[in-house]
Structures are given as structure tokens and as C-alpha cells.
Structure 1
Amino acid sequence: MSGSPTEAVELSSGVVKRSTLLADGRDLIYFDDPGTSLSPERKPDERPLDPRPETATMRQDVLTGEWVSIAASRQNRAFLPPAEFDPLAPASATNPSEIPDVYDVAVFENRSPSFGPLLPPEAPNAPHDLADLASIGLGRTRTSVGRCEVVCFSPETFGSFASLSETRARTVVEAWADRTAALSALPGIQQVFPFENRGEAIGVTLHHPHGQIYAYPYVTPRTARLLTSIEQYGPTLFADVLDSERNGPRVVLAGEHFTAFVPFAARWPVEIHLLPHRHVADFAGLTTEERDELAVLYRRLLRGVDALYDDPTPYIAAWHQAPVGTGRDTVRLMLQITSPRRAATKLKYLAGSEAAMGAWIGDLVPETSAALIREAIDRA
């Protein structure tokens, strides 16, 4: 049986953090809204759960040097269950869900993780370091050490970040910052990635408003390529990108601390990047004022994306952060929202050129896309 939540820890802007364990030993963390009406006491998890799955194994693709985690236990995860059996809703007598009591925002370790639960030094054949992972050879394997967490934005069964209140959105931002710091401190973690998948067209398996956080044992391929670009261009890459965009035709939304824009070489029909105005490596480095504004701007941005058409837009909202041990002074926190929706009833599918060769062909002129998104934000 799980234990009771630990003593409350007050975070930025009055958000309160309470930590406990699920029945199989996984971490569960409640993040209470400032001034919440919830009781500080939370019910324990009394489910009879099977032991956690073994940590998966990574295999190296010798053609690219990239690592692939083979996580067969994920085959058993829930797939679009009816609302009355929502595994992310507060538990009831007929729905023994993953969260045993009511909550505002809740974060817990994924029951079917792609990485973890073992970490160095307990994990056998764990990666030694980045140099070890960079070596190329046939048949190379390493344990998929790391952590995968689920971030429940709300106890409601349907919705997304855009449907949250401003107060609740701020609590989620605080949870992202707290978990980024905690996961970055775990042994063997090289990069932390918060994200939200929204819509069945993206492959979402639960309608509940939620996101995820992956803590990887390597620097991801996209970030590795970014580090190469910074090495070639210079350490001011992000500052120069922001300066070139802030007064241009592709800006869609701006505040005191952040600017959102369609990138110069957008790949997707809907693609928006958001950057902080000062250099900050990850969520944990944001000031209270920046977190306050981000909760407002990000929610407004997503509501604009939803207003593009008559029904909600499928998207991936990806929070790119600097790796834990490299590029901290040059890689800036960046949101990238992408959607394959190229018209009201049409999706962009990755066919031969994009999927096989990584050679993209854009469907919309980025300046045209920016104008459409600005108009949608105004309508929203």
C-alpha cells in the first residue's frame, strides 16, 4: 500500500507540492493550485498491482549512431478507453485509476515506461557516459535507463492545456519547472523533455488532458544536430534568431518575456516556435514573472491553434530544453508546436521524401501561415 503524502512544499506563486507513492512504488506528486479547496490529506493507493516491468534495452542503429529503446511492455498500455474507465481521472469505486484521490495537477511515473525505472548504478549495462554512447559498432546495446512521467493537467476527462483556467495553467508550468530540476538531477540523465500530444490524428491513446516528461539517458538526435549548428554558427544563434523574427511578418504573439513566431523554414502546415527574450536553458531557470506570463501566452497560443478550424486541431507541443551536461550557455528553452493539419479535412502525411530521406516539402508559405494563425488568435 502506498504511503500518505509528505509534508507540503510551497513552490513559486503559491503552488503546493505533495509527494507520495503508488502501490507498486512509483512516485506520485500532487501540485495543488494556490488557494486550492482540496484537503491536504490524500487517499492511499490500495490496488493490488503487478511488479513493475523490467527496464527496456536500447539498441544502436549503426548507420546513424542513434539509439532505439525496445520497450515491449508499452504494448499493454490503455487505448482510448471510455470516460468511465479513464486511468488518469481520480479513482472511484468503479474506476481504480492511477491517481487514488482528487487533485488539481498530478504527476506520476508511467506504468509502461520507454526509459527506466532502473537508473545507474543499479542498472546492468547502463551507458557509461556520452562518449560511450557516441561510439559506433555492430550489435551494441545499453539498458534504457531514465524516467517517464505523466503530467495530468486536470481531473477532467476531456480537454487540453488550452481548456485550463489561467490559475491551473500556472500550476502546470510550475510542475514542469519542478520536475525538470528533479529529473535533471537523477544519475544517468542527459536531457529532459516535457511535451503534450493532442488528438487521435497524432496517435493519442487517452483523451484526458495530460502531457508527458521523458528523461533520456542520451542527448536526443534533434538536439545533437542543434549543437552542431551552434558550433558552426556561433553561441549567439538563438539570440540572433529571436532578433531577426521579433519585428518581422511571422510573429503571431508577443509579451514582455516571450515571442511566438512561425519559423523561416517551417516544415509543417502549422508550426509555431516560442522563445524567451533572455537566455534560459530550461523551465527550472525561468523567473516567477516569466512563468506567470508563459501560463497566459501559451494558453492563448493553443486557443488560437484550435480556432484555425471549426473543431480542435491535433498537435504536438514540444518543449526543447538544453541537455543536462552540455550546451547550457547556448541552447535556449524553446517551444515548438507542430500540426499535420493542412486544411479543415486534410492532413499532411510523411511520405517518401520526408519519412525516408528527411527532405521536407512545405505545404504553406510560412508568412501565409503566420497571418492565418494571428487571425485565429484574435478570434479565440
Structure 2
Amino acid sequence: MRELRYNPLTGQWVMVSAVRRERPWRPKDYCPFCPGGEETGHGWEVLILPNRFPMLSFDAPKPETSGFYRRARAIGQCSVIVETPEHGLRDLDGLSREQMVRVVELWKNVTAELKKNPGVAYLAIFRNKGEEIGVSLTHPHGQLYALPFIPLKARLKLENSRNYYNRHGECLFCRVLKEELKGERLIYENGSFAIFMPFFASWPFEIHVYPKRHVQWLTQLEGNEVEDLAEAIRVATGTLNEVLGRDMPYSMMVFQAPFKGSYEFYHLHIEFYPILRDNGKIKYAAGIEIGTWEFTYDGVPEENAERLREACKKAMERLGARGRCPEALE
């Protein structure tokens, strides 16, 4: 069974897939993403594989529809992005600059490919890291879902950015970036990208990565922008892994514009949601967050931004990273 079920109360589609029950849970005797496996083979640096336990598929059956509730085909694509042949790397800050560029180029190429598919409305490229997040396989990897609908969070961002553009004649994201580049929550910048903790952070060490140029899709990155994004991702993950002196569990999401329509008012961006508020202390999304989708922030974002800046300096030195942290801007 694989289908989409519509929630009329929130306007969301819920992805239902019975095959997800069969996915492996942290196997100790083998890794399906290591070189030499049945699906992986040899001689690759970065690899995209079909998810063997997908929520979506282009050959999903058409569900029966009757009565009050709506069902739809779970049409789409679920893929795994294996970021390196090296099983033991802990995070993307363990990749070389050149290897991270290959990963970003894959993101860009798969975006271009799926934009041509009339069945895809939205592409979600994301990454989960850490046992606390619930990662089932530890080999460094990300994922993508090519969705037949625009997810609710993206729709809300589109609506708010469209309304702001209509009122003020400027991109809302560009204005956010302008405010954050003033330095109070700025963590890092290079020629094309900036990393900052947003004024409205929900997670204790939440960081966002924005391109300085107004673009909607990864496919629009040109020149040094791919390399600069790769470097920013290395620095972002390195900073998160330094700030508490341990590996930081997190989820990461790449937000692009939808594939159908015109979205000049929108802006490509990446968000990291680290779930620790201190060593051994998880920021749980509990009653108020789950029940209302409204977050509480325990602490002061600017104080945590300062901790992230100090961690960024260490990460940049360890990685030999290009770019600047706020102190170098003063």
C-alpha cells in the first residue's frame, strides 16, 4: 500500500507507505552504501540511489476514492544521496572541499533533471544526522523527495514572501539577509553565501545559509557560487560539531522554489535544525511545539550566536576554510 491522504484541517498531504516498515535499522554486519555492494559498485565519489523503501514512486497505484476523505497517488521519487565512499566520516565537515563540491553539483544536477518531470511539483533535498535524530544508517548520506505537491511549510514561506514583495517591492529573504549581515547573529560569510542564526530561531543552535545573490534554484548557481556553497556547508557542519565539543545531531533542509509557476519573490536557502540545547540535553519538540507548531526558545539567540561564532573560528582553522567570520569584518 502506498498513497497520499489529505488532511482537510491543515491542508496537508500525509504520505502513507506500508513498505517503510521493512527498512533496516542500523545493521551491524553490512552497509548498503559502502563501495562494492549490490547497488553501489566501485569507482564513484558521490552516488544517487533509489530508496529501497520509498514513500513515493512514479509507478504508485491509483487508490480507490470514495466518501468524504481524499486520497491521491503517491507519485514521485525518493532517493538516497551517498556523499562519500568513506563509511567512517562523521559529517560533511569531514569531506574535502573538492568532495563537497561534487555533492553540491549532484544537488544541482538532480534539480535540473527533476524540473523537467511534469509529475514533480516540489523537490525536497534534506539530510538527517545522528542517533538522536533517528538515523537508521550511519554511512554519510542525504535524501531527496520529489513531491507531487508543495509542502505546507514551503507554501507558508511562499505566501509570506509574495505578500511582502507585493507590499514593499523587495524580496523578504534579501531583507532578512541584509539585517543578519549587520553582524549580531552572523556566523560566517564568503563571497557568495552567509551563515547566520536567524532573529526568529526556533532551535537553540539553528543556523541558516543564504546565497547573497537573489536566486530561486540551485540550477541558477554559477561561477564560484557552487564552490562557495560547498565551503559554507563544510563550515556550517564543522561549526555545529565544535560548539558543544561533540557531534551535533541535526536535520538539514534545502528550500528551493516550486517547479511549476513563477517565483521571482522567492530565494534559495538552507536551514539546519540542531536538536541539542547543551551537552546531554535535547531540545524536545513537545506539547506546545507539536500541538500548535509554535516554538519556545530557552535562552537568548544572540548569546548562542556568539558561541557559534567562537566554534566557527575553530572549525575554519581545522578545515582550512576560506571565508571570514564576523571578527574579521570589524
Partner Cα separation in structure 1 for residue 73 and residue 227 of structure 2:
39
**What is the CA distance between 1:97 and its match in structure 2?**
4.0
Tell me the TM-score normalised to structure 2 length: 0.89
The corresponding residue for 1:309 is 244
**What is the CA distance between 1:327 and its match in structure 2?**
4.8
Q: Is 1:62–1:138's contact at 8 Å kept on the other side of the alignment? A: no
CA displacement 1:111-132 (0-9 Å, x = unmatched): 111111327xxx6369xxxxxx
The corresponding residue for 1:110 is 51
The corresponding residue for 2:233 is 298
Q: Is 1:281–1:329's contact at 8 Å kept on the other side of the alignment? A: yes
Partner Cα separation in structure 2 for residue 107 and residue 194 of structure 1:
12
What amino acid does structure 2 have at the position aligned with 1:267? S
**What is the CA distance between 1:79 and its match in structure 2?**
1.0
Partner Cα separation in structure 2 for residue 327 and residue 316 of structure 1:
28
The corresponding residue for 1:200 is 131
The corresponding residue for 1:336 is 271
Q: Is 2:93–2:237's contact at 8 Å kept on the other side of the alignment? A: yes
Partner Cα separation in structure 2 for residue 291 and residue 143 of structure 1:
35
CA displacement 1:201-235 (0-9 Å, x = unmatched): 11100100110111111001001111221232225
Q: Is residue 237 of structure 1 aligned with residue 175 of structure 2? A: no
Q: Is residue 59 of structure 1 aligned with residue 40 of structure 2? A: no
The corresponding residue for 1:377 is 312
Q: Is residue 138 of structure 1 aligned with residue 68 of structure 2? A: yes
- Aligned ranges for residues 172-211 of structure 1 at < 5 Å? 172-211=103-142
The corresponding residue for 1:284 is 219
- Aligned ranges for residues 1-380 of structure 1 at < 5 Å? 56-82=2-28, 84-91=29-36, 96-118=37-59, 124=62, 138-159=68-89, 160-234=91-165, 235-380=170-315
Cα RMSD for the two superposed structures: 1.8
Tell me the TM-score normalised to structure 1 length: 0.78
Partner Cα separation in structure 2 for residue 354 and residue 339 of structure 1:
15
From the two aligned structures, give the one with the greater helix fraction.
2
**What is the CA distance between 1:158 and its match in structure 2?**
2.5
* Greater length-normalized contact order (CA 8 Å, ≥ 6 residues apart): 2
More deviation, 140-149/109-118: 109-118
Q: Is 1:86–1:97's contact at 8 Å kept on the other side of the alignment? A: no
Partner Cα separation in structure 2 for residue 117 and residue 87 of structure 1:
23
Q: Is 2:11–2:152's contact at 8 Å kept on the other side of the alignment? A: no
SS in 2 for 1:288: coil
The corresponding residue for 2:319 is none
Partner Cα separation in structure 2 for residue 202 and residue 208 of structure 1:
15
Partner Cα separation in structure 1 for residue 127 and residue 294 of structure 2:
25
SS in 2 for 1:85: coil
Residues matched between the structures, number:
309
Structure 1 stretches of 4+ with a deviation exceeding 4 A read none
Partner Cα separation in structure 1 for residue 284 and residue 193 of structure 2:
31
Q: Is 2:207–2:271's contact at 8 Å kept on the other side of the alignment? A: yes
Q: Is 2:243–2:307's contact at 8 Å kept on the other side of the alignment? A: yes
**What is the CA distance between 1:147 and its match in structure 2?**
0.6
CA displacement 1:224-252 (0-9 Å, x = unmatched): 11122123222521111111111130000
Partner Cα separation in structure 2 for residue 327 and residue 233 of structure 1:
16
SS in 2 for 1:195: strand
**What is the CA distance between 1:307 and its match in structure 2?**
0.5
CA displacement 1:94-123 (0-9 Å, x = unmatched): xx443122421111111111111327xxx6
